[in-house]
Amino acid sequence: MSRSMGNYTRLGVNVDHVATVRQARMVKVPDPVEAAVLAELAGADGIVVHLREDRRHIQDRDLAILRQTVKTSLNLEMASTQDMVKIALEFKPDTVTLVPERREELTTEGGLEVAMNLEYLKKVTRLLQDAEIRVSLFINPDVDQVKASHRVGADAVEIHTGKYAEAKIRQEAEADYQRILNAAKVASKLKLEVVAGHGLDYRNVGRIARIPEIVEVNIGHSIVSRAVMVGMERAVREMKRAIGGEV
């Protein structure tokens, strides 16, 4: 489903890396909950956290407090394991985004292999939706994965923009952009809400945000990095301007 005329692309702010800094010293600050409050005050349309199985940044307590304090929308990124599903059913985020997860990776490296895990993901999706939790699948910009996500019964897909964001030459970026564009168009035709994320920053987000079918971008590292220099509220407002949103 695409944006209607006059609507802007929503911004979900991922506060994982605030917790990364905290966990480096195993202390209480900086607090991702405080960062989320400031992001919302600056105009964020939602807060995103990834509760990883190894708890390298966001902790269960963070999720519990965020569920009580987030005023916009809380999006929990997680692996599709039984333990994580139990946590989601306990805390009831507004959205769960199912992502692949490997302990040795620095950050999520690619999209879910939906087509190869269709029946299992159907069960997980149905379980979460029965608890009134929206389900989004984090996928590569691949039409086959979009179609598989539709068969799973997901409410949305989040298209992995990492290769586009990290492309070193213009031809690579253009090829990746076209894949994102095609995947977004197919997803919209299948009545899936279309989100984009991974590697997006102040420089490259604009073109992605202008794709009519993309209704939201989720951004973490770039905003948190900027916030170290200028503060969270200014960093979020600058990103809102970069994507063409209202401040």
So which residues are the catalytic ones?
50, 77, 198
Using DSSP, state whether 134 is helix, strand or coil: strand
Q: Is the CA virtual torsion 225, 231, 236, 239 positive or negative?
A: negative
Using DSSP, state whether 206 is helix, strand or coil: helix
Interhelix angle 170-189/143-152, rounded to 10 degrees, is 30
Distance from the first to the final alpha carbon of the chain: 24
Using DSSP, state whether 139 is helix, strand or coil: strand
Q: Who contacts 180 (Cβ-Cβ below 8 Å, separation ≥6)?
A: 141, 159, 161, 164, 196, 208, 211
Of 135, 32, 42, 38, the closest CA to residue 80 belongs to 135
96, 134 contact by CB (below 8 A): yes
**DSSP state at residue 221:** H
Both tokens of 231, joined, read: 């503060």
77, 49 contact by CB (below 8 A): yes
Q: How far apart are CA 116 and CA 105, in angstroms?
A: 21
Both tokens of 46, joined, read: 């939602």
